[in-house]
Amino acid sequence: MSRDMMPHFELYQPDTVENAIDLAKRIGEGAWIMAGGQDSLDWFKDRAKRPRAVIEITGIQGLSGIRETAEGLEIGALTTLTEIENSALVREKYSLLSTAAGRVASPQIRNIGTLGGNLCQDARCWYYRSGVNCYRAGGNSCYADTPQGLNREHCLFGASRCVAVSPSDMGTASVALDAQMVIRGPDGERVVPAEEFFIGPATDIRRMTVLKPAEILTAVRYPKTWAGAKFYFEKVADRNTWDFALVSVASALRLEGGTIREARVVCGGVECVPRRLKAVEQLLVGSPQSDEVGRLAGTTAVRGATTLNFNHFKVPLMENLVRRAIRDA
């Protein structure tokens, strides 16, 4: 794989969302929309992706910032992860987001990386990233799902040809908070629930999200129903900085008199999408917040897990993370 320089591409820097959408529509299949560039530039340097034109959108006004609204919180897609991590408003009412943002990669990357970029990044499977002709790249094999495949970071649930997992820490937190994703494209604006924004390989093996060509994620809205709830976020990775999650968990609980009245529990690193644990949530409603309930929730969370050759450790890891997410929220 040649890593000496990026392949040639045309660079466009529109100043409005409308111009960016028009450019992407006019260029067609060879267009690549880029924000902070942390994920994009890796693809280009490895020459695994060769766009004809890059549409760099960081100069568009109005796509960044954290705003409290009557419905809750709205964060522009170009808001950096550092801004989210350090925001007093986010820390006070939606600390799940600030904690998750602070666990992404390294401080230098968080200074440049954006909320939208983290949510929209592609699969991190090293076979796919190295340019091999796997299912996700249009081929007819999954090199990770073989007796010799290196798959310790891959999924426990939802495999359909591809066994890569969603790499987004902010995605895990956003699904737990019932976020709404604001998308603009040639056909206007649409709003998609975070749980439906991410798609697995059974739906479309070539994409990780519902974004269509020439569409742009412009903002994420977090409802006030979860403002001030009891939160928990934990991410286990091989290194404390830089690495993606082996398994992560995000939980949001609302309690009345020590009894859980509403719950959201989501795991990352175990499926091609952030995995919402609906059976766990149903178990929790009406139960006390306790270690015993947390232990039962952990056991429920891993039911149906299908391990690969080298990721058996993820099952007890996921079970214990869910237990702590209930007990210590």
Structure tokens at 169: 């820490």
- 97-151 pLDDT, tens digit per residue, is 999 999 999 999 999 999 999 999 999 999 999 889 999 999 999 999 999 999 9
Distance CA 207, CA 137 (A): 10
Nearest to 124 by CA among 70, 164, 77, 84: 164
Distance CA 166, CA 188 (A): 27
pTM for this entry: 0.97
- Cβ-contact 166, 208 below 8 angstroms: yes
Instruction: Indicate whether 65 pLDDT > 90.
Output: yes
- 187-246 pLDDT, tens digit per residue, is 999 999 999 999 999 999 999 999 999 999 999 999 999 999 999 999 999 998 889 999
- Cβ-contact 138, 132 below 8 angstroms: no
- Per cent of the chain over pLDDT 70 is 99
Distance CA 32, CA 10 (A): 10
Distance CA 96, CA 279 (A): 21
Domains in the chain, CATH or no CATH each: 10-59 (3.30.43.10), 66-120+164-327 (3.30.465.10)
Which three-class secondary structure string do you get for the chain? CCCCCCCCCEEECCCCHHHHHHHHHHHHHHEEEECCCHHHHHHHHCCCCCCCEEEECCCCCCCCCEEEECCEEEEECCCEHHHHHHCHHHHHHCHHHHHHHCCCCCHHHHHHCEHHHHHHCCCCCHHHHCCCCCCCCCCCCCCCCCCCCCCCCCCCCCCECECCCCCCHHHHHHHHCCCEEEEEECCEEEEEEHHHHECCCCCCCCCCECCCCCCEEEEEEEEHHHCCCEEEEEEECCCCCCCCCCEEEEEEEEEECCEEEEEEEEEECCCCCCEECHHHHHHHCCCECCHHHHHHHHHHHCCCCCCCCCCCCHHHHHHHHHHHHHHCC
Instruction: Indicate whether 1 pLDDT > 60.
Output: no
Nearest to 262 by CA among 272, 252, 270: 252
Burial state string for 5-25 with b = 16 or more CB within 10 A and e = fewer than 16:
ebeebeebebeebeebbebbe
Confidence of residue 47 (pLDDT cuts 50, 70, 90): confident
Give the mean model confidence (pLDDT) for residues 94-99.
98
Instruction: Indicate whether 60 pLDDT > 90.
Output: yes
* Residues in contact with 170: Cβ distance below 8 Å, sequence separation at least 6, in sequence order: 81, 97, 100, 101, 104, 115, 118, 119
Give the mean model confidence (pLDDT) for residues 262-284.
98
Confidence of residue 3 (pLDDT cuts 50, 70, 90): low
Distance CA 67, CA 198 (A): 24
